[in-house]
Amino acid sequence: MISLRSEGRAMGAVISRNFSLIRRYLGWEVVFAFYNAVNALTIALIGLAEPGPGQGERVLYLAIGALLWNFLSVLFFEISNSVMWERWEGTIEYSFMAPVRRITYLLGVCAYAVVYGLARTLVVLLGIFLLFHLPLAHADIGGALLVLAAASLPFIGLGLLGAIMPMLSAERGAQATQVIQGVLLLVSGIYYPISVLPHWLQTVAWFSPATYTLTAVRQAVLQGTAPGALLATVLGLLGAGLILVPIGVWAFHIAERYALRTGKLKRNG
């Protein structure tokens, strides 16, 4: 019990530390949040370009893609971004030498990313509701939230894998995570059905957890599909998370040992 309590306090300290960084760079955070909101609103406005029947559904289709991508990309990016910040600040070696289990440190970073991602997404959601009148009469919000909660797990695993890049290289590593993020954006059907992709990219799309997340959330919101009918997708996402998270933790441990052995944790920039 004492051990669990101490690990919980340590995880809370990691979360608090990351939110302190937000306060330190508050101007940047405001700019990023503003850009995300404007980008999502711009995407949703595309649905108004063709007036006529189904316009509301088109706007909602695009708005769902923008909102989910905002949350999932923040979840992925913030986990790897935490390592990049520590590299830049020159504190990563101190964090790794602290008397905190590595799994506790990583869980704290992941928990922070989830809370921060939800906060950023709620800001974007508020902007969308203020600008658009969305047809939500038949939406099953509970089912959509269930799918989103399940999707958080595989994206945490992907985030842990992405965090390896900036640990090995402060500059090029951050660029590599952007490449991974861009590939997910391209193939996951964020703003269009994956059927419009070339066949070889459609094959890649089926390996992206975002593809299944978006399909299931759109079914829940646009068609009112009940949570029971989405259970297979939820279980699939949870299964993917149970595979990707341990792989991410293991790969992070291997990369950390390599970085320590080769002196790659020194501050660059």
Res 269: pLDDT: 46
Q: Is the pLDDT of residue 238 over 80?
A: yes
Q: Is the pTM of this model over 0.85?
A: no
Q: Is 41 exposed, middle or buried (0-12, 13-18, 19+ CB in 10 A)?
A: middle
Position 212 confidence tier, pLDDT thresholds 50, 70, 90: very high
First CA to last CA distance, the chain: 43
Mean pLDDT of the 34-51 span? 80
Highest mean pLDDT among 24-33, 59-68, 71-80, 255-264: 59-68
Res 163: pLDDT: 80
pLDDT in tens, 174-208: 677 778 888 888 898 888 889 899 998 899 999 99
Mean pLDDT of the 63-74 span? 84
Sequence ranges of the domains in the chain:
2-262
Q: Average per-residue pLDDT in the chain?
A: 81
